[in-house]
């Protein structure tokens, strides 16, 4: 059924010996669009994605991908999905570009492999074996292999890790095109800007559970703790300004004549600050509202401690 969600995971549990990698994770991905799965090292992202791809078996929980159980119905599912593994998943002795061309012949309606070779800058790889490609070339080939069969759903595990900026942008363009073609893309990444650039939906995983989900905009808006900056003459009477603002607002002169207001920056606060400036003969230059970035939200939710 094409109306079924692309991915439906509830109560997923996966243990490796005594270590619980995934502990009751819920994840829902609708059809179409890009979903970015974020999380610190060891959060359980790859394990979750590999279970959805049918590469690993869950210990408990319910997993459906395009309406199919990846563990029991892998043969039906595999032709409909594209997979780019972190480790490449490509036979190391195979000649890279030939393998892509060969893979294309296995599908009924493949993307033209020559087009992918050109788009991902793989022309120079010619007859080179996969193991002799540079790390970035291996990544790009793995991406091409994942999409050449024109899948309905693509899983990309850290698709731009280790890529140079040119290859990163080429990868982003390809992901945008997949999205425009109606392909559902699920990607894991450690790059918050990548998620902000590409994702319609973001899911943040930590300790084997999904701890937040929403559009990047929703996640960044949550809490509404933003910053208002402006410049004016040095030494403004900030206690007087603060009297006009809500109790939990902070006002700082961060450099002579440079001001930062932290708190719930909404239209009312903006109006109060500009009206206070007008009353005090201050022209608030370079007035700017700075929103929280996805990275701010990610660090707030997952903390700053390194994961062991």
Smallest gap from Cβ 42 to ligand ATP, in A, equals 4
Which stretches of the chain bind ligand ATP, using CB under 6 A? 16, 19, 21, 39, 41-47
Side-chain-side CA neighbours of residue 298 (13 Å):
22
Q: Are the C-beta atoms of residues 179 and 33 closer than 8 Å to each other?
A: yes
Comparison of 21 and 210: residue with beta carbon closer to ligand ATP: 21
Smallest gap from Cβ 211 to ligand ATP, in A, equals 13
Residues sharing a CB contact under 8 Å with residue 166, sequence separation 6 or more, in sequence order? 121
Smallest gap from Cβ 210 to ligand ATP, in A, equals 12
Comparison of 6 and 203: residue with beta carbon closer to ligand ATP: 203
Token pair for 162: 């280790």
Comparison of 21 and 68: residue with beta carbon closer to ligand ATP: 21
Q: Are the C-beta atoms of residues 117 and 80 closer than 8 Å to each other?
A: no
Comparison of 25 and 265: residue with beta carbon closer to ligand ATP: 25
Comparison of 38 and 116: residue with beta carbon closer to ligand ATP: 38
Q: What are phi and psi of 193, to 5 degrees?
A: -70, -35
Neighbour-count burial for 205-214, b at 16+ CB within 10 Å, e otherwise: bbbbbbebbe
Closest by Cα among 101, 97, 92 to 141: 97
Smallest gap from Cβ 44 to ligand ATP, in A, equals 5
Smallest gap from Cβ 75 to ligand ATP, in A, equals 24
How do 19-29 and 7-16 pair as beta strands? antiparallel
């Amino acid at each position: 059924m094409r109306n079924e969600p692309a991915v439906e995971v509830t109560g997923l549990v996966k243990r490796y010996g005594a270590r619980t990698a995934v502990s009751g994770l819920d994840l829902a991905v609708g059809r179409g669009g890009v979903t970015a799965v974020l999380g610190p090292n060891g959060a359980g992202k790859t394990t979750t994605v590999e279970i959805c791809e049918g590469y690993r078996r869950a210990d408990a929980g319910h997993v459906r991908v395009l309406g199919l159980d990846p563990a029991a119905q892998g043969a039906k599912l595999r032709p409909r999905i594209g997979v780019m593994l972190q480790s490449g998943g490509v036979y190391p002795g195979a000649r890279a570009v030939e393998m892509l061309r060969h893979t294309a012949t296995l599908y009924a309606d493949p993307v033209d492999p020559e087009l992918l070779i050109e788009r991902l800058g793989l022309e120079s790889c010619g007859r080179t074996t996969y193991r002799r490609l540079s790390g970035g070339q291996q990544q790009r080939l793995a991406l091409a292999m994942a999409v050449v069969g024109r899948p309905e759903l693509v899983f990309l595990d850290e698709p731009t890790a280790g890529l140079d900026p040119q290859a990163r942008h080429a990868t982003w363009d390809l992901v945008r095109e997949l999205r425009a073609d109606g392909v559902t893309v699920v990607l894991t990444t450690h790059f918050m800007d990548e998620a902000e650039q590409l994702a319609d939906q973001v899911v943040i995983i930590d300790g084997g559970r999904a701890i937040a989900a929403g559009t990047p905009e929703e996640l960044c808006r949550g809490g509404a703790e933003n910053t208002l900056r402006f410049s004016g003459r040095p030494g403004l009477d900030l206690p007087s300004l603060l009297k006009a603002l809500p109790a939990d607002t902070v006002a700082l002169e961060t450099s002579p004549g440079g001001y930062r207001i932290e708190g719930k920056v909404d239209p009312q606060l903006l109006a109060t600050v500009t009206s206070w400036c007008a009353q005090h003969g201050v022209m608030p230059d370079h007035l700017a509202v700075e929103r929280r970035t996805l990275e701010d939200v990610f660090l707030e939710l997952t903390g700053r401690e390194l994961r062991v």
